[in-house]
């Protein structure tokens, strides 16, 4: 053997066979990877089809039907379960959702349809997210002002309540007074603007909307929310 000559030099034929083997192995790996990827895609597609089959189709709500003549007084026109689904569909805060049982309990107590009051609270508080003139610390779900009143944009012109139940109760007292509920006005109300001359002056949603806020579209917005709550499936 000559000096400096590699001891295991491969012949051209062996080099060719090795190169072909390496190439085939690489191709096999690529094919296997492609097959695995295709199988994974098929599996994912199958899972999506199964999920779509098992998931119920989203409810198709009927067209909006605003009722400006809807009476303030009366039984609930939707259930608490519907109210919760409706609140969730509007991405309501947990605080807003926690009011449902209070609204339905007080609605029955005052003889006021709780659907109207809860929908109004959704409008006034942006479904519990606030962001307007008032914040959560006021415990004022409907924009009730103080006895002195003032500008809509002035937070100090609005009543601050000790708790959410007090604020909601005051809302029902004000609505019941407007609607002419028997036994109203009350002798010792939480409602700061519980004036005797208001008794029976606004018995429908449309009539209350005209006096409740300065927004010219208040009735349209309020009746829309009422309608959507009433047709929401539980």
Note the pLDDT of residue 60: 81
- Considering the domain architecture, whether residues 84 and 40 belong to the same structural domain is answered as no
In a domain, 206, yes or no: yes
Note the pLDDT of residue 233: 97
- What dihedral do alpha carbons 149, 223, 173, 147 form, nearest 10°? 0
In a domain, 188, yes or no: yes
Number of domains in the chain: 2
- Tens of pLDDT, residues 59-79: 688 899 999 999 999 999 999
- Considering the domain architecture, whether residues 35 and 113 belong to the same structural domain is answered as no
- Tens of pLDDT, residues 170-200: 999 999 999 999 999 999 999 999 999 999 9
In a domain, 74, yes or no: no
Q: What angle do CA 157, 173, 195 make, to 5 degrees?
A: 65
- Considering the domain architecture, whether residues 35 and 106 belong to the same structural domain is answered as no
- Considering the domain architecture, whether residues 110 and 16 belong to the same structural domain is answered as no
Note the pLDDT of residue 72: 99
- Tens of pLDDT, residues 222-231: 999 999 999 9
And the tokens for 86? 């409706």
- Considering the domain architecture, whether residues 164 and 48 belong to the same structural domain is answered as no
In a domain, 199, yes or no: yes
Note the pLDDT of residue 44: 76
Cα 193 to the center of its chain, rounded Å: 30
Identify the sign of the CA torsion 63, 226, 70, 135.
negative
- Considering the domain architecture, whether residues 34 and 129 belong to the same structural domain is answered as no
DSSP SS3 for 97: helix
- Considering the domain architecture, whether residues 211 and 97 belong to the same structural domain is answered as yes
Q: How many angstroms separate the CA atoms of 121 and 131, rounded?
A: 14
Give the domain extent around 31.
9-55
Q: How many angstroms separate the CA atoms of 37 and 55, rounded?
A: 27
- Considering the domain architecture, whether residues 21 and 131 belong to the same structural domain is answered as no
Q: How many angstroms separate the CA atoms of 130 and 123, rounded?
A: 10
- Considering the domain architecture, whether residues 31 and 101 belong to the same structural domain is answered as no
Note the pLDDT of residue 35: 65
In a domain, 71, yes or no: no
């Amino acid at each position: 053997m000559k000096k400096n000559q590699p001891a295991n030099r491969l012949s051209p034929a062996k080099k060719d066979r090795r190169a072909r083997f390496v190439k085939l192995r690489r191709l096999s790996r690529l094919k296997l990877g492609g097959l695995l990827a295709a199988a994974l895609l098929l599996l994912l597609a199958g899972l999506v089809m199964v999920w779509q089959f098992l998931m119920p189709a989203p409810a198709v709500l009927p067209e909006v039907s605003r009722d400006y003549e809807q009476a303030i007084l009366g039984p609930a026109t939707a259930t608490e379960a519907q109210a919760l689904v409706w609140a969730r569909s509007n991405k309501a805060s947990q605080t807003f959702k926690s009011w449902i049982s209070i609204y339905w309990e007080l609605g029955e107590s005052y003889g006021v349809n709780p659907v109207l009051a809860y929908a109004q609270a959704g409008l006034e508080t942006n479904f519990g997210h606030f962001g307007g003139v008032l914040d959560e610390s006021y415990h004022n779900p409907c924009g009730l002002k103080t006895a002195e009143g003032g500008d809509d944009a002035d937070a100090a012109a609005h009543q601050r309540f000790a708790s959410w139940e007090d604020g909601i109760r005051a809302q029902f007292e004000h609505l019941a007074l407007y609607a002419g509920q028997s036994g109203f006005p009350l002798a010792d109300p939480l409602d700061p603007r519980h004036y005797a001359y208001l008794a029976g002056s606004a018995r429908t949603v449309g009539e209350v909307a005209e006096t409740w806020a300065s927004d010219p579209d208040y009735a349209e917005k309020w009746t829309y929310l009422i309608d959507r709550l009433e047709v929401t499936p539980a």
